[in-house]
């Protein structure tokens, strides 16, 4: 349930910091970020190497916790959660799409998509139906029994997107989702993500590529661990 004052926000971070200790030095990777993302938005987070975008992504994805500040995900304050609590909320609330696909090599496309449902304790019959629906959503019904080495790069990323969708998460978080793909296949993947957003999914893409960010409706640029700009992109631009 969304907490009072958060309105329709799926993400609200306040004074977010992440400091790492390297040797005898402290490195501030993220410094005092305030950010709110509404449900149904299509957002790109951009920045060069060292800008803090990967650190911010890890915190938004509940893969890491802040050194200071608060993070509300879909109305729940998660910044002080334990590792087990973070794992549970990741499985329930977030669908991940990674540059390297992160598929199990010895498992079929259907088995890879099914994995989050197994972790969530969903029963067999329901699992199979939801896997079929997720694969159909990315146009891979006829590849359900194929293993990753029998699929093209674009098909593997489609499997990863289906896996991200299968638990009906609040948020789809895509980290350089086209980084290992050619330009034509990249456009196909971006069209799928656009279609998911058109259906109401909140999509955040972390990228350093301007042509990928241009597909989104809001572009947040980071520099030295802080937000350098945050702008809406007009439709048709």
pLDDT tens digits, one per residue of 144-177? 999 999 999 999 999 999 999 999 998 999 999 9
Q: Above 70 in pLDDT, residue 235?
A: no
DSSP 214-232: TTSSEEEEEETTEEEEEEE
Domains and CATH numbers, the chain: 40-65+80-232 (3.40.50.300)
With 0-12 CB in 10 A as exposed, 13-18 as middle and 19+ as buried, what is 18? Answer: buried
The predicted model scores a pTM of 0.91
In whole angstroms, what is the distance from residue 58 CA to residue 71 CA?
12
Q: Above 50 in pLDDT, residue 196?
A: yes
């Amino acid at each position: 349930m969304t907490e009072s004052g958060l309105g329709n926000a799926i993400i609200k971070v306040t004074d977010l910091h992440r400091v790492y200790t390297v040797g005898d030095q402290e490195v501030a990777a993220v410094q005092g970020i305030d950010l709110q993302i509404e449900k149904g938005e299509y957002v790109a987070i951009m920045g060069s190497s060292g800008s803090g975008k990967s650190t911010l992504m890890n915190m938004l994805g509940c893969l890491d916790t802040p050194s200071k500040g608060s993070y509300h995900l879909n109305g729940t304050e998660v910044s002080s959660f334990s590792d087990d609590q973070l794992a549970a909320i990741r499985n329930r609330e977030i669908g991940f799409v990674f540059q390297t696909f992160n598929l199990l090599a010895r498992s079929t496309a259907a088995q890879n998509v099914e994995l989050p449902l197994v972790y969530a304790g969903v029963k067999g019959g329901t699992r199979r139906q939801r896997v079929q629906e997720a694969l159909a959503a990315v146009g891979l019904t006829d590849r359900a029994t194929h293993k990753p080495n029998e699929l093209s790069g674009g098909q593997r990323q489609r499997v990863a997107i289906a896996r991200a969708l299968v638990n009906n998460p609040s948020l789809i978080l895509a980290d350089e989702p086209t980084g290992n793909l050619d330009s034509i296949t990249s456009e196909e993947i971006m069209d799928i993500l656009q279609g998911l957003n058109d259906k109401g999914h909140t999509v955040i893409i972390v990228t350093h590529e301007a042509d990928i960010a241009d597909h989104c409706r809001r572009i947040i640029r980071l520099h030295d661990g802080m937000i350098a700009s945050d702008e809406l992109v007009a439709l048709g631009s």
